[in-house]
Every structure is written in C-alpha cells, then in structure tokens.
Amino acid sequence: MNSCDRALLALICAPHEACSGISVATSVPTKLPSGKNSTAEKLLVAASELMIERSSIEISLSDIAQKSGANAALVKYHFGNKDGLLLALLERNAATELSNLEYLLAQPITPTAKLKLHIGGIIRAYYRFPYMNRLIHYLLHETKPECADEVSKFFVAPLLDFHRRLLADGISRGEFLATDPVLFYTSLIGACDHLFFGRHAMSRATGVGPVTDEVCRQYIKHMETLICGGILTQAEEAAAAG
C-alpha cells in the first residue's frame, strides 16, 4: 500500500468526529473517479478475475481485498460500496466495445458487413468477461434505482441506439428486412447471455465442456448464420453467399 492509500485509509477508518467534515458515501454507489488510480484499478482487476475464476458474481469485499492486496476499506473510498465497484467494473468492460460502435458505423462498408463485425465483437466481449450479463441483471434489478439508471445510460441505451441506426441503414439500402431493434437487441444479447450463463445447465444435461476459443468462433459463425438468415433480404443473402 502506498503512502497516499495509507492516508486515505486513515481517513476512512478514523472516528467520524476526526474527519473534519469529510464523509464517505456508503449507500449510493459511485463510479470510478476520473483519471487513472492504481489502487482502484487493482480492485477492479481483482473483482473481474475472481468472478471469472468462480463463474459467479457472488464475491465479497474481503475476497477482493485479498486478491488485490489492498485494504477492503479502500473499496468504500474509491467506489462508495461494493455495488459502486461492480458498476465501475461493468462500465470499464463495456467502454471499449461501445466506443467502437460509432467507428464501425462510419466505416465505408456495407451494413451487412457491419452487422457481422458487430455480432463477432459483442460475443467476444462476453467471452472476455463471461460474468457481464449476470452483472447487468444484478445492477438493473437488484440494486438501487441509481445503479439501474447508470447501466441503462452507459450500456443499454447506446447499444440499442446503435442497433436502431444500423438496422435502419440496412433497411434503407435494401439489405435488411424490417426488423424491430428491441427484438434484435434481445436476441443478440440474450444469445450472449445463454452461451455463458446457460452453459452450466447444459454441461449437466448434455456433458458439453467450457467455452473455449474454438467454441467462441463456432458460436460467432452460428449467430452470423442465424441472424443474417433472418433479416437479410433475398438479394443480399444471395450476394453474401456468392
């Protein structure tokens, strides 16, 4: 622990009267502070690794502290509480994929090509962070309304807006059949969810193994065929096949 963190920890653990008016929010989650912070980043990395190792989002502050080498009290300083840390982790994980959406829309390629790239990109994002959809469900439905609002703002809304614009472009160019963007979002994100979350149930029922690089590649190909087969016009489907 560096000297800055020791000073922060002293403030967190000191009696309330000694804090000179400084208080730490513990009821409303906060997002990751702007700018890099090595301890905050270590806490996020530790939480991510634990959830991947355990195939569960049920991790404690003491687990995170032990994994990161930081004091559990620093979670409250940097994030407000555990929900704040989980919210910051989801935002960090989603940021790279979502930042690529505008770039993808601007590329001089067909909407069909953009659709295939997006399908592959979103499935790979879930492969890198297989706890992501469980985390989304938890933050949307089992925490304070402020948490759900944040998830909707930085993840659900941008992704839905991207789907609306991509589908509208494909329809206007005669490549896509009329497709409801909400149903499209539900289909694609639901497919990502079940690949990882439902894998445990399938392993018991059918003996399938874990999600590997090869499984991920096969699933991307499968979803491209399934989705494109459902929304491409006959002319575009023939062009893609040829």
What's the pLDDT tens digit per position in 106-152? Answer: 999 999 999 999 999 988 888 888 888 888 889 989 988 988 999 99
Q: What is the mean pLDDT of residues 188-217?
A: 72
- 231 contacts 188 by C-beta, under 8 angstroms: no
Q: What percent of the chain has pLDDT over 70?
A: 75
pTM, 2 dp? 0.73
pLDDT band per the 50, 70, 90 thresholds, residue 239: low
By the 8 A CB rule, do 54 and 13 touch? no
pLDDT in tens, 151-163: 998 888 999 999 9
Please tell me the distance from the alpha carbon of residue 86 to that of residue 150, in angstroms, as a whole number: 12
Which amino acid is residue 170, in one-letter code?
A: G
Question: Which residue from 231, 202, 85 is spatially nearest to 150, judged by alpha carbons?
Answer: 85
Query: pLDDT band for position 55 (50/70/90)?
Result: confident
What is the identity of the amino acid at 82?
Answer: K
- The number of residues in the chain equals 242
CB neighbours of residue 130 within 10 Å: 19
Tens-place pLDDT, residues 23-44: 233 233 334 443 456 889 999 9
Which residues lie below 8 Å from residue 175, measured CB to CB, with a gap of 6+? 110, 111, 112, 232, 233, 236
Q: What is the pLDDT at residue 192?
A: 82
Angle (CA) 170 187 171, round 5°: 10
Residues 118 and 100: beta-carbon distance below 8 Å: no
DSSP line for 135-193: HHHHHHHSS-HHHHHHHIIIIIHHHHHHHHHHHHHHHHTTSB----HHHHHHHHHHHHH
Q: What is residue 84's predicted lDDT score, i.e. its pLDDT?
A: 93
